[in-house]
Amino acid sequence: MACAFNVQAKRETYLGPMELQSRDSQPANAGSAAKDDLTRATITVAWVIILNKPFYPLYVWYLVDDGAVASLVTLLSVPFFLAVPFLAKKSPLAARLALPLVGTIDTLFETKIFGQPSGTEFFFAACIMLAAMSFRADEKLWQYAMAILVFIAFFFSRTFLGAPLQSWSADDLATLLNLNAFSAASLMVFIALRYAGISRRTEI
C-alpha cells in the first residue's frame, strides 16, 4: 500500500492544470449521474404506463362488453403521461413530481367513471409508492406535499366523488375489481423493481 501511494504521489507531480481539472470534475459528474437515476426511473415508469394504457379499454371490452365505450375515456390522460419524459429534459424534479400527480388525477377520473367498487382506487397506492421513492433527501418537502396530496385525493374519492358516470352490474364490478387489483399490483411490483438499488441520498 505504501508503495502504491508513493507512485501515485509522484505521478500527480506531473499532472498539468487541465488534467487536474478533469480529474477533480469526475466525482461531481458521477454525482450528477447518480442524482439522475431517479429521473430515469420515473421516465421508465411513465413509458410503461403510456404503452399499457391503450390495452385497458380492450381488456374492459373483452371482460365487460357494456363498458368498452366508457373505458375509452381513460385514454384522455395519455398526453399528460407523455409530457413527463419531455418535462424531464427541462426539469428532472418537475418530471418526478408530475408522474404521481398525473397518476392521482387519472385515478380520480377513472374512479368517477367506474365507481369505487371497481377497484380503481387501488392505483392511489401506486401513486403513494411513487411519492415515496421518487425524491432525494433534500427534496423531502416536495415528497411530503405529494404524499399528502395523494391522500387528500383518496379521501375526496371515498367521501365526495359521488355516483359513477357509468352504471355497472354487480358481476361487471366484480370483474373490474379483479382487473384493477391485478393491474395495480403489477404496476407496484414494476415500480419496486425499477427503483431497487437507487440511492436517494443527496450527493455533494
pLDDT, tens only, 12-40: 444 454 444 544 444 444 444 444 899 99
Spatial separation of the C-alpha atoms in residues 41 and 20, rounded to whole Å: 33
How many C-beta atoms surround the C-beta of residue 159 within 10 A?
8
Flag whether the pTM goes above 0.95: no
DSSP secondary structure of 15-64: --HHHHHHHHHHHHHHHHHHHHHHHHHHHHHHHHHHHHTTHHHHHHHHH-
The tens-digit pLDDT sequence of the chain (204 residues) is 444 444 444 444 444 544 445 444 444 444 444 448 999 999 999 999 999 999 999 999 999 877 778 889 999 999 999 999 999 999 999 999 999 999 999 999 999 999 999 999 999 999 999 999 999 999 999 999 999 999 999 999 999 999 999 889 999 999 999 999 999 999 999 999 999 999 887 655
